[in-house]
Amino acid sequence: MRPSIEAIGGLALIVGVIALIIFVAVEATLIYSAWHYRASRMPGPAPQIAGNSRLEVVWTVLPAAILLVLFVLMTGTMREIGVAVAGGGTPAGMRIVARGAQWWWEYRYPSSSGEVVVANELHIPVDTAVDLDLESADVVHSYWIPGLGGKTDMIPGRTNHLRLYASRTGTFTGQCAEFCGVEHAWMRLTVLAEPRADFDRWLAAQSAPRSAPSGAGAAGERVFTTNLCVSCHAIRGTDAKGEAGPDLTHVASRTTLAAGVLKNDPAAMRAWLADPQKYKPGALMPRVPLSDADLDALVSYLEGLK
């Protein structure tokens, strides 16, 4: 199997070459005719050729043949890149639910120990077809990682399908491609393609509930569970089961906060918690008034959730 972008790129090249040939032929005929039949050379009305059946046949059959060729190539490419998966095409190696929300991403991995829910950073194994079930929590978003596959909308109330395939390890980035509200620009997409062993290790770690905190962390967990945080966020292993915001069970293992706005480190985490609206105006996370001591404890707790 080859990455979708190679299949799409190959098709685009063929279409481009055919279009270029047509363009050159039409322009050449146009320029030649304008020069050859110019008024100074051929005065009077041009000879009429209506009803020339040979010409009629040529300019009906030729475009029809070109369209037929493109149709066959296009349906083949669509099947190859997995667009037809929903309709019973080849099932791929792995299925992940990707859900767009204002203004972040959620990914749900099936796992032997139940569903693993993470946010904003999609980890995938390299050289494996990954079928995403695309959903939306609210409005239309659009999922697009140019380096890995085509662009597909996420539409409320329906599930679309997109196949990703990475033929090399590395980080692939993208961006929500459908205007979805004030923070549309801060729906960064990050995909980390990893060797299979690394991916399996990562998934196993993400499957575990949060590791029980101690010291300042334990105090931080109390701050978390006794404040507004729990109504939107879940942390497995605690009573926090909110679903409106990102799952935070292993939040410290992610590289950024707020879908790419801030680097994920203790200083940024503290600044973010103190005033989310300063960094992502319009985000649905409110400012929760906390004392400095509570804020410190909360930061130490969350940054300990590796």
The CB-of-83 to ligand CUA minimum distance in angstroms stands at 21
Return the residues of window 90-129 that contact ligand CUA according to CB under 6 A: 100
The CB-of-189 to ligand CUA minimum distance in angstroms stands at 10
Question: Is 132 near ligand CUA (CB under 6 A)?
Answer: no
Out of 61, 179, 201, 209, the residue judged to bind ligand CUA by CB under 6 A: 179
The CB-of-275 to ligand CUA minimum distance in angstroms stands at 23
Of 7-15, 158-166, 174-182, 296-304, the segment contacting ligand CUA by CB under 6 A is 174-182
The C-alpha angle 122, 188, 250, rounded to 5 degrees, equals 45
Question: Is 141 near ligand CUA (CB under 6 A)?
Answer: yes
Does 105 sit behind a cis peptide bond, omega within 30 degrees of 0 on the bond before it?
Answer: no
Count of C-beta atoms within a 10 Å radius of residue 226: 10
71 burial type by CB count under 10 A (0-12 exposed, 13-18 middle, 19+ buried): exposed
| β-sheet bridge partners, residue 94 | 130
Question: Is 189 near ligand CUA (CB under 6 A)?
Answer: no
Out of 99, 123, 161, 184, the residue judged to bind ligand CUA by CB under 6 A: 184
Query: Among residues 100 and 217, whose Cβ is nearest to ligand CUA?
Result: 100
Count of C-beta atoms within a 10 Å radius of residue 133: 17
What torsion, rounded to 10 degrees, do the Cα atoms 179, 180, 182, 186 define?
-80
Out of 187, 192, 259, 297, the residue judged to bind ligand CUA by CB under 6 A: 187
Out of 135, 178, 194, 221, the residue judged to bind ligand CUA by CB under 6 A: 178
Tokens of 50: 């209506």
Total residues contacting ligand CUA (rule CB under 6 A)? 8
CA distance 279 to 205: 30
The CB-of-276 to ligand CUA minimum distance in angstroms stands at 18
* DSSP annotation string for 267-288: HHHHHHHH-HHHHSTT-SPPPP
Binding residues for ligand CUA, per CB under 6 A? 100, 141, 176, 178-180, 184, 187
